[in-house]
């Protein structure tokens, strides 16, 4: 095995190998015993399915917050389990190399924490690559060419916009409003407008389900009546979900457009010709690309695989160390 390309996201962790492509795509959740916090009982889908119904004595943890590590021990336990699952058959126990994607706005301390965790979790040699650069590479863009590219990433915990060119970052903005906040907005809408309290997974399912549901069709969500406490079903029109998410989405877009102030005038022609690349799960919401187009004044192209292109790009970096070297400063 030549190594692992890793996207450790707030919401999802995706791992790829040059030989097999994406080999792991799971929610960034872990279950541990409260008394034994550094041994993973379950990770990914298994751990996430227990959101809102975790038994006593078991704790559910999210190892990443806003795209970065906050607790080294928890992150190490999670990343070790991820590496073990992604590369179960290592010849002679050889430790794989790794390239890990990191938010473009991560501080030197946050980058160091990620490098340390990568090493301690079992990677032989660790390189870091900014997420928008990896996302662009995963979408077939050469981040070393002397042309500017603008990448918008709407993830689970953070939204970022980054202009890249010739191995360097031209401008960058980020905010801590993204998919999780959109899910929360829908939860609050359901409580305020329909008097129903739903679980986090239900609210997220309704949010993610809306883009796949045609206009005029409806979604059914189950929850608890806020007044009587009894179980209740509510039928939601797709447009209603989109409208409920619009104020939060506008806030995200507003912050991201501030990046344009720092974009050199010379780069505008490149972005106009190529369009803005939209990646991350939030870019799949209905109406987002139109909103971005209106705010940015550039055409917007959503990635073909918005949820996995960062890991695909990080994996490609294993074969293109010159990209990691160029963007390491
Ligand atoms: N089809 C979809 N429509 C809308 N939102 C979606 C869809 N699929 C996933 N999402 C949302 O996208 C978010 C996760 O996106 P992604 O995996 O890109 O984030 P991440 O990389 O884990 O987070 P971050 O970049 O903040 O660290 C979640 O909030 C999820 O609800």
Residue to substitute in 5, 11, 67, 151 for testing ligand 1 pocket (most ligand atoms within 8 angstroms of CB): 11
Query: Mean pLDDT over residues 198-215, rounded?
Result: 82
- Which residue's CA is the closest to the ligand 1 atom numbered 29? 179
For the 4-134+309-326 domain, the top CATH level (class) is alpha beta
Under the banding of pLDDT at 50, 70 and 90, the label for residue 226 is very high
- Residues with CB under 6 Å of ligand 1 are 9-12, 67, 155-158, 178-180, 183, 204, 207-208, 211, 280-282, 284-285, 307
- State the architecture of 143-303 in CATH terms: 2-Layer Sandwich (3.30)
**143-303 and 4-134+309-326 share a CATH fold:** yes
Residue 303: is its pLDDT beyond 80? Answer: yes
Determine what percent of the chain is predicted with pLDDT higher than 90: 86
Residue 211: is its pLDDT beyond 60? Answer: no
Residue 262: is its pLDDT beyond 60? Answer: yes
Contacts of 321 (CB under 8 A, 6+ apart): 127
Q: Is 10 annotated as a binding residue?
A: yes
0.85 surpassed by complex ipTM: yes
CB 184 within 8 A of CB 195: no
The per-residue DSSP string of 105-121 comes to T--HHHHHHHHHHHHHT
Domain residue ranges of the chain, discontinuous segments joined by +: 4-134+309-326, 143-303
Angle at alpha carbon of residue 282, lines to 276 and 286, rounded to 5°: 85
- Which residue's CA is the closest to the ligand 1 atom numbered 12? 281
pLDDT at residue 51, as a whole number: 87
Q: Is 267 annotated as a binding residue?
A: no
pLDDT at residue 215, as a whole number: 60
Residue to substitute in 151, 281, 304, 313 for testing ligand 1 pocket (most ligand atoms within 8 angstroms of CB): 281
Beta-bridge mates of residue 22? 16
């Amino acid at each position: 095995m030549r190594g692992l390309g890793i996207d450790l996201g707030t919401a999802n962790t995706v791992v790829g190998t040059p030989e097999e492509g994406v080999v792991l795509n799971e929610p960034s959740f872990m279950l541990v015993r409260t008394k034994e916090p550094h041994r993973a009982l379950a990770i990914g889908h298994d751990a996430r399915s227990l959101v809102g119904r975790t038994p006593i004595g078991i704790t559910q943890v999210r190892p990443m917050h806003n795209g970065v590590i906050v607790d080294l021990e928890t992150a190490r336990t999670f990343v070790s389990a991820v590496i073990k699952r992604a590369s179960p058959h290592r010849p002679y126990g050889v430790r794989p190399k790794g390239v890990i994607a990191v938010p473009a706005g991560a501080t030197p301390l946050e980058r160091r924490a990620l490098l340390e965790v990568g090493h301690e979790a079992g990677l032989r040699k660790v390189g870091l690559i900014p997420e928008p650069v990896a996302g662009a590479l995963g979408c077939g863009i050469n981040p070393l060419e002397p042309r500017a590219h603008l990448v918008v990433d709407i993830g689970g915990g953070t939204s970022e916009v980054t202009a890249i060119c010739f191995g360097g970052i031209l401008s960058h903005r980020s905010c801590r409003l993204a998919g999780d906040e959109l899910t929360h907005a829908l939860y609050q809408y359901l409580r305020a407008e329909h008097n129903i309290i739903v679980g986090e997974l239900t609210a997220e399912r309704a949010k993610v389900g809306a883009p796949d549901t045609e206009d005029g069709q409806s979604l059914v969500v189950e929850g608890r009546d806020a007044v009587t406490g009894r179980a209740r079903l509510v039928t939601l029109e797709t447009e209603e979900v989109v409208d409920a998410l619009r104020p939060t989405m506008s806030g995200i877009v507003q912050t991201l457009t501030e990046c344009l102030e720092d974009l050199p005038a010379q780069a505008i022609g490149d972005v106009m010709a190529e369009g803005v690349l939209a990646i991350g799960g939030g870019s799949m919401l209905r109406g987002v690309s139109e909103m971005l187009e209106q705010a940015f004044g550039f055409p917007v192209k959503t990635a073909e695989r918005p949820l996995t292109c960062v890991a695909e790009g990080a994996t490609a970096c294993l074969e293109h160390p010159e990209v990691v070297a160029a963007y390491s400063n």
